[in-house]
Amino acid sequence: MDEAPIGRLLALMARLRDPERGCAWDAAQTYETIVPYTIEEAYEVADAVERGDRADLRDELGDLLLQVVFQARIAEEEGAFHFDDVAEAICAKLIRRHPHVFDTSGAFLSPEQRPTDPAAIKAAWETIKARERAEKAAAGKETGKAEAAGPLAGVSRALPALARADRISKRAAGVGFDWPDAAQVLAKVREETDEVEESLGKGEPEAVFEEIGDLLFSVANLARHAGVDPEEALRRGTAKFERRFTAMAARLASEGHALEDTALPAMEAAWQAVKRDEKK
């Protein structure tokens, strides 16, 4: 019988990491040097989903899986853990966080035993995660690896800034520190915009820096209240700008104008024409 694909992938990674028979580049990598590729591949997955390209999604998911296998192989070589330990840990976590689906042994609950209220399920999920964070903090104190405790502890600092702002604000909202509705968040956004304008008028670079940070955090809160993923919204907004800017440049080029030699009013006219064309 042919070897299962995951087993083959693990064997290939082990061979690539072999210092004598493998690839010198792969063998030289560390946890730290691989992290940027892991982050990049996660974004490539998001891009494939956004474009609706299923063939590309398959390939990008493979690239992301490779990153997991790569990191796990490095850990195995130093005796920390194996790939199977990674899979077992996530299986245990899924069972633990879904008491409405599994019993403590991992067996499926019967239909009459399973709650169906989405709000109750979400609340239970958050309670379980909070308990896990507390247990992790307690274990950290015992091993001397304690992190800052509290409701905001454990939000990865490796997340993109906008995504982390969203995660932090959700945590704060989870304990009741939140605006009651989106209208009040929008008012806060306007307030922060005014403060940016004031700092710009005073010519205070450090204050401008800080106020723009406050503005962006308020926008992340507004997105949350509106039910919008701010990272995805920004990604789409950037893609829209990219599409329109490219079309504007092409339009000007078709008229014999080089972008760098075109005055701003002409660029703006071409930009508005591109926007009108999109609406046809």
Does any domain span residue 208?
yes
Instruction: Kindly state whether residues 89 and 117 are assigned to the same domain.
Output: no
Per-residue pLDDT band at 250 (split at 50, 70, 90): very high
State the residue range of the domain holding 127.
Answer: 111-153
177 shares its domain with 240: no
Task: For residue 219, tell me if it sits in a domain.
Answer: yes
Banded model confidence at residue 29, pLDDT cuts 50, 70, 90: very high
Q: Is the pLDDT of residue 1 over 60?
A: no
Using a 10 angstrom Cβ sphere, with 0-12 exposed, 13-18 middle and 19 or more buried, the burial of residue 193 is: middle
* Statement: the pTM of the whole predicted model exceeds 0.75: no
- pLDDT reported for residue 145: 55
What is residue 54's predicted lDDT score, i.e. its pLDDT?
Answer: 96
User: 105 in a domain, yes or no?
Assistant: no
> Are both 146 and 165 inside the same structural domain?
no
Residues 126 and 165 in one domain: no
Number of domain units in the chain: 4
Same domain, 251 and 274: yes
Mean pLDDT of 43-62: 93
Same domain, 166 and 143: no
Q: What mean pLDDT, rounded, does the chain reach?
A: 90
Q: For residue 141, what pLDDT is reported?
A: 61
Is residue 114 predicted with pLDDT exceeding 60? Answer: yes
3-state SS, residue 108: strand
Look up residue 259 and give its DSSP letter.
G
64 in the same domain as 117:
no
Q: Within the chain, how many helices (H) and strands (E) appear?
A: 11, 0
Domain assignment of residue 128, yes or no: yes
CB within 8 A of 134, min separation 6: which ones? 149
Q: Look at residue 38 and tell me whether its pLDDT is greater than 60.
A: yes
In a domain, 170, yes or no: yes
Place 209 in a pLDDT band, splitting at 50, 70 and 90: very high
Residue 180 lies in a domain: yes
Q: Name which of 1-15, 112-126, 131-145, 161-175 the model is least confident about.
A: 131-145
Whether 216 and 174 map to the same domain: the answer is: yes
Measured N-to-C along each axis, helices 205-225 and 182-202 cross at an angle, to the nearest 10 degrees, of 170
CATH at residue 167? 1.10.287.1080
> What is the spatial distance between Cα 127 and Cα 3, in angstroms, rounded to a whole number?
41
212 and 255 together in one domain: no
The domain boundary, picked from 153, 171, 186, lies at: 153
Structure tokens at 201: 């008028």
Q: Is 142 helix (H, G, I), strand (E, B) or coil?
A: helix
116 and 85, same structural domain? no
Q: Is residue 79 part of a domain?
A: yes
- Are residue 173 and residue 119 in the same domain, yes or no? no
52 and 17 within one domain: yes
Residue given tokens 């008028």 in the structure block: 201
- pLDDT value at 237 more than 80: yes
Answer yes or no: is 103 within a domain. Answer: no
- Is 80 exceeded by the pLDDT of residue 280? no
Cβ-based neighbour number of residue 35 at 10 Å: 13
Per-residue pLDDT at 140 exceeds 80: no
**What is the 8-class DSSP label of residue 159?**
S
What does the alpha-carbon distance between residue 266 and residue 252 come to, in Å, rounded to a whole number?
9
Q: What pLDDT score does 151 carry? A: 78
Tens of pLDDT, residues 60-89: 999 999 999 999 999 999 999 999 999 999
d(CA 110, CA 27): 49
Average pLDDT over residues 187-210: 96
